Amino acid sequence: MTTEIEKRLNKFLFPVEERKVYFQSDSNPKLTREYKAIVRPDKDKLISVMQDSYKLVPNREVILPLLEQLYQLDTKWHFDNSHSFASSKRMRLQVTFPDLTLNDGRSDIALSLFLHNSYDGSEGVRMFWGAIRGICSNGMVFGNVLSKFYSKHTKGINIGNINEQLENTYNQIPVIKERIEILQHLQVTDVLKEDVQKNMGKTVQKYINEQKLPINQWALYNILTYYISHLIEQRMRAAYQMKVSKIFQL
C-alpha cells in the first residue's frame, strides 16, 4: 500500500483481539467459556461481549484482500468518504468507479461498492453494489438488481473475484436504466406514499412534504436518496438505502 492509502485506511485498520470473560461468583472472578470479549488493545477499550461461536473477522482481513484485487483492475477507482465511516463497533467502506457510469437524463451516476463489517454482531461481512451521483453525492444501493455478498461471522469469509463482480455489475446497467425509465413514467400514488411513511418514518415523510411535489417515482426516489445522503448519520445510511431500494425495486 502507498503511504497515502495507508493514512486513509488507518481508521479502519485498528487492531482488535479476543479476550476471556470473567464474572463475579461468590466474591471471586470465574471464567466463562460461553462468551468472549472483543477488545481494541490500542485504546485498551472493550468493544463488545459476544458468544463463543462468534468468529472475529478484523477489518484488515476483508479490506486488504479487497485492496489487492482493486490494484489489479484496469478501471479507475478511489475510496469515497461520502458514505464511508469507521467506529470501534462497525465500519462501511465505499469504493467508487468514476468511469463506470449510467445517466438518468440528469447527470452521471457512478458505480460504487460498499463493504461492511462489525465487531458487535450487528452485521456480518457484507458487500453491496450501488452508485453515487456525482453532482450531489447521493448514495444509492441497488439491492434488487445487483448481486450482493453476505457472510455471517460464524462462517468462512470469501470476498470473491472483484473483477468478475464488477463486470457482472456493469453488465446490469441496462437493467438498472430500464428500471429507472419505468420509475420516471410512474406517478407517485397514495399506496407508495403510505409505503414510504411506513418504512422510512414520519420524519422522512415530513421532509418529503416540504419539497416540491415529485413529478414521478424517480423524482421521489431522488428526494429520499438526497435526504439519506445529507441528513442521516453515516452509520445509519446503509439501512435506509436498503429500505429505499426495496420500496422502488432497484
* Same-domain check for residues 45 and 63: no
pLDDT at 3 over 70: no
State pTM to two decimals: 0.89
* Same-domain check for residues 110 and 50: no
* Same-domain check for residues 71 and 154: yes
pLDDT computed for residue 98 by the predictor? 95
Residue 10 domain-assigned? no
Q: For residue 196, what is its C-alpha cell?
A: 414510504
pLDDT, tens digit, for every residue of 26-61? Answer: 778 899 999 999 999 999 999 999 999 999 999 999
Residue 9 domain-assigned? no
Report how many domains make up the chain. 3
Which of residues 2 and 6 earns the better pLDDT score? 6
* Cβ–Cβ < 8 Å for 166, 75: yes
* Same-domain check for residues 69 and 168: yes
Residue 184 domain-assigned? yes
In angstroms, the CA 37 to CA 28 distance is 19
* Cβ–Cβ < 8 Å for 91, 116: yes
pLDDT, tens digit, for every residue of 102-121? Answer: 999 989 999 999 999 999 99
* Same-domain check for residues 72 and 163: yes
* Same-domain check for residues 166 and 105: yes
Burial 42-68 (b: 16+ CB within 10 A, else e): eeeeebbebeeebeebbbbebbeebbe
Residue 7 domain-assigned? no
pLDDT range class, residue 191, cuts 50, 70, 90: very high
pLDDT, tens digit, for every residue of 138-161? Answer: 899 887 766 555 556 655 566 778
* Same-domain check for residues 102 and 127: yes
Q: Which of 172, 198, 217 is the last residue of a domain?
A: 172
Residue 186 domain-assigned? yes
DSSP 89: S
Residue 5 domain-assigned? no
Q: Which of 172, 194, 221 is the last residue of a domain?
A: 172
pLDDT range class, residue 172, cuts 50, 70, 90: confident
* Same-domain check for residues 67 and 163: yes
Residue 155 domain-assigned? yes
Q: Which of 35, 55, 75 is the last residue of a domain?
A: 55
Dihedral sign computed on CA atoms, order 57, 61, 67, 73: negative
36: containing domain: 17-55
Task: Give the full edge-to-edge strand order of the sheet including 45-51.
Answer: 17-25, 28-40, 45-51
How much is the average pLDDT of 180-194? 96
* Cβ–Cβ < 8 Å for 214, 223: yes
